[in-house]
Amino acid sequence: MKHDHISKEDMHKYVTGCMRKKQAERIARHMESCERCRNACAEAEEFIRTLEGAVIPEPQHDILLKCRRKLFAAVKEEETRKFSLSAAAERAAEFLFRPVPAVKFAYVAAVFAAGIFFGRYMYSGPVISSPGAGSKAFTTIESIAFDTSRPGKSMVSLVLREDRTYTVDTSPTDPRLVDAAIYILKHEDRDDIRIKAMKILQHAKHTEDIERALISRLNSDENPGIRLMAIKMLKMFPINQKIRDTLIAAFFKDKNSGIRYEASDMLRNLPENPIETVNTNI
Amino acid sequence: MTELVKMAQQGDSAAFEKLVKEYDSRVLSLAYQISGNRQDAEDIYQEVFMRVYRKIKSFKGDCSFYTWLYRITVNCSLTFIGKRKRMSHAPIEGSGAEHFYQAVDSGPLPDQEVVSAEMMDRVRRCVDELPLQQRSAFVLRFFHHQKIKEVAWIMGCSEGTVKNYIHRSTMKVKEKVALLSA
């Protein structure tokens, strides 16, 4: 740098204090031995000193007075507006929605609670309910979709329609869904929907209601596939008198040979084979 | 924090008026120096003090009241100019500094001071031609004597960026002033 003088730009950075410390030190060292750069520096510094010592005149007094008058009028107007009814409403809204943690938390909690309340109400009321009060909710069933890839999670999606369409995602073990499936089996005309309702019951815990529904299907369903499903599902239940009577009736009266075969198979496994008893009685 | 600011924070409107009278001339100057237009400067002035009136309670005294006020002024000015540019493509003419600033008492001045006043007049004209950010940094640093650190806080950017703005703007101004002097 001894022979290469400091560039105009670097000199400018140096005098305005916009240079890094190390570079500034190097320039200061160079200037100790370079008169030309020292002069250039003095000249640049003079300009900056003039700028730094600049005294900018005040704005004209009448402009300031005009601005103040306008401002104070606006402030007065705002003050009177503060006490008006609409302003009070605005302040109340601001208070409710301002980001104070406690208020925010309460607000979120309230929304959450309302969500749960209305969610439950809508969920258990019109869509999945025991046939009775909510039975009018699904006069037409659009579809039931199964997703077996997510066991234990939302495996069933029901789309029900009356005036509106409801979609419900739930687990097949949900007792309200079981109630709905039983209701579907009783009232639904479409075979495919009834079959899907049967599939819901396959996943459910065995209860008396399910047993009754299966017996009813086996006795009266027009679709042999559903009757077959019902008899196969009844296999899983402990055989009682009602099931026994139904199986005997199916063995003797059902038009479908597969069902008759299943019935005989089940009856044969009983300790006292009722078919033989019946045959003997005949 | 000054007593006046504290009183204004408690809703004392007389204290607020005093506060305005004490600080408004610098706010109006800064708004004019950034916007380069008297009408805009007056509008920015209104906006700044209305914001101060509404938000004075949020001033915690972490910095000087001037610095806080400058920050609001710069923000308002940049927003105002940005809005105006979007709304109108026609160039806004400057109203002329002689119609804005008070006339300097023209008593017998030493030669050195006459030269300096002439140069400052040229500097002011050159500053109007600078890009907005550079102009704001230059004005705050040299016309309002703020340190680089304070300018950075006021403009909401890093010290490095401010140094860059100041370096570039002073280079340009110096060159233009030299041309005008020639």
Query: What ipTM does the predicted assembly reach?
Result: 0.81
Asked whether residue A19 falls in the same domain as residue A39, the answer is: yes
CATH: 3.30.70.240, 3.30.9.10, 2.130.10.30, 1.10.10.10. Which one for B107-182?
Answer: 1.10.10.10
Range of the domain at A125: 115-193
- Residue A126: the pLDDT is 34
pLDDT band of residue B49 (cuts 50, 70, 90) is very high
pLDDT band of residue A198 (cuts 50, 70, 90) is confident
Checking if the pLDDT of B115 tops 60, the result is: no
**Closest chain A C-alpha to B55 CA, distance in angstroms:** 13
Domain boundaries, chain B: 1-89, 107-182
End position of a domain, from candidates A141, A167, A193: A193
Asked whether residue A78 falls in the same domain as residue A15, the answer is: no
End position of a domain, from candidates A70, A89, A114: A114
Asked whether residue A28 falls in the same domain as residue A81, the answer is: no
Residue A134 within a domain = yes
Architecture of domain B1-89: Orthogonal Bundle (1.10)
More confident site: A34 or A118: A34
* CB pair distance less than 8 Å for B170 and A54: no
Q: Are B77 and B60 in contact (CB under 8 A)?
A: no
Q: How many domains does chain A have?
A: 4
Q: Are A251 and A260 in contact (CB under 8 A)?
A: yes
* CA nearest to A44 within chain B: B174
Asked whether residue A133 falls in the same domain as residue A96, the answer is: no
* CA nearest to B51 within chain A: A75
Checking if the pLDDT of B63 tops 90, the result is: no
Burial class for B69, CB neighbours closer than 10 Å (0-12, 13-18, 19+): buried
Question: Across-strand partners of A140?
Answer: A161
Residue A200 within a domain = no
Q: What does the pLDDT average to over A147-157?
A: 53
**What's the rounded Cα separation, in Å, for the pair B72 and B52?**
8
Checking if the pLDDT of A33 tops 90, the result is: no
**What proportion of chain A, given as a percentage, has pLDDT over 70?**
67
Q: Are A124 and A166 in contact (CB under 8 A)?
A: no
Residue A78 within a domain = yes
Asked whether residue A121 falls in the same domain as residue A187, the answer is: yes
Spell out which residues of chain B touch residue A8, defining contact as CB-CB under 8 Å. Answer: 171
pTM of the model: 0.54
* CA nearest to B171 within chain A: A12
Q: Which of A171-185, B60-74, B90-104 shows the lowest mean pLDDT across its residues?
A: B90-104
Checking if the pLDDT of B45 tops 90, the result is: yes
Q: What does the pLDDT average to over A70-85?
A: 80
Checking if the pLDDT of B48 tops 90, the result is: yes
Asked whether residue A135 falls in the same domain as residue A98, the answer is: no
* CB pair distance less than 8 Å for A70 and B50: no
Asked whether residue A267 falls in the same domain as residue A246, the answer is: yes
**What phi and psi values does residue A160 have, to the nearest 5 degrees?**
-115, 150
- A245 three-class SS: helix
**What proportion of chain B, given as a percentage, has pLDDT over 70?**
82
Checking if the pLDDT of B74 tops 90, the result is: yes
Helix axes B159-181, A35-52, angle to 10 degrees: 100
End position of a domain, from candidates A161, A193, A225: A193
Residue A201 within a domain = no
- Residue A53: the pLDDT is 76
**Closest chain B C-alpha to A49 CA, distance in angstroms:** 10
